[in-house]
Amino acid sequence: MIKLAIVDLDGTLAYTIPGMMMGINAVRRKIGCEDITEKKILECISNATPGFVGHLIEDTPLKDNLDEAIRMYLEEYSKCCVEGSTPYEGIREEMQKMRDAGISLVVFSNKDNIRVNWIMEKYFSGIFNECIGTGIYPFKPDPTGPLDIASRYGAKPDETVFIGDSDVDVMTAKNAGMISLNVAWGYVDRDILKKAGSQYMAEKPQALLKIINEINIAQEKGV
């Protein structure tokens, strides 16, 4: 029986690329560099902030001063992270249905913790038990965070679904011995998810609880 859902933020709960583009391009303009494209953002979006920023300033004078680049990015991103994010249609309602069904909900993101909570408070207030970004646990796909979260919520790994849109989320679930439930509307192509070992795929937000119920039935039958 599924007791816990650990859920990614970027590309799973919300479309967040506009805010990240505004943040990193504000930094690039300050140092006299051209804007980067959405395609470039997508190439490194699953990274935690150091990797994300590092890739996007590797052609700039800041490439040898990552700490300063991160500081500048977070300062700029703070101005646009909330309004530059849009929840996917139907996802808030589906998360509420999961909560009503007795499933504990925890966001676990490679985005920094402060801005994760700003976005979640704006668009998902009162639905999630907890929202966790970087700085508390090692970055995904390290299983340390998900395993500790599951332990705190009284859920075994096989009683936990890890919901995300990327191969990093698939690997995190696999490393933690959890069930990988991926979403087709996110930033990463489904073929990449399948190659990484995705176990279940939701075509739309309204399919998530249905798939979880199917997992419950299969577990009861010992399948």
The per-residue pLDDT for 51 is 92
| Token pair listed for 51 | 């990797």
Q: How far apart are CA 18 and CA 23, in angstroms?
A: 9
Query: pLDDT tens track of the chain, all 223 residues?
Result: 999 999 999 999 999 999 999 999 999 999 999 999 999 999 888 888 999 999 999 999 999 999 999 999 999 999 999 999 999 999 999 999 999 999 999 999 999 999 999 999 999 999 999 999 999 999 999 999 999 999 999 999 999 999 999 999 999 999 999 999 999 999 999 999 999 999 999 999 999 999 999 999 999 887 6
Q: How far apart are CA 71 and CA 77, in angstroms?
A: 10
Q: Check: CB of residue 161 under 8 Å from CB of residue 212.
A: yes
Query: In the prediction, which pLDDT does 221 show?
Result: 84
Give the pLDDT score at 223.
62
**pTM tops 0.85, yes or no:** yes
**Strands annotated E in 93-178:** 104-112, 130-134, 160-164
Helix (H, G, I), strand (E, B) or coil at 19: helix
C-alpha 218/C-alpha 223 separation (Å) is 5
> What is the reported pLDDT for 47?
85
User: In this structure, are residues 217 and 45 in contact, taking their beta carbons and an 8 Å threshold?
Assistant: no
C-alpha to C-alpha distances, 184 to 177, 204, 206, 213, nearest whole angstrom: 22, 7, 12, 19
Residues paired with 123 in a beta bridge: none
Taking the C-alpha atoms of residue 185 and residue 13, their distance in angstroms, rounded to an integer, is: 10
Angle at which helices 66-77 and 49-56 cross, to 10°? 100
Q: What is the CATH number of domain 4-15+87-221?
A: 3.40.50.1000
Residues of the chain within CATH 3.40.50.1000 domain(s) are 4-15+87-221
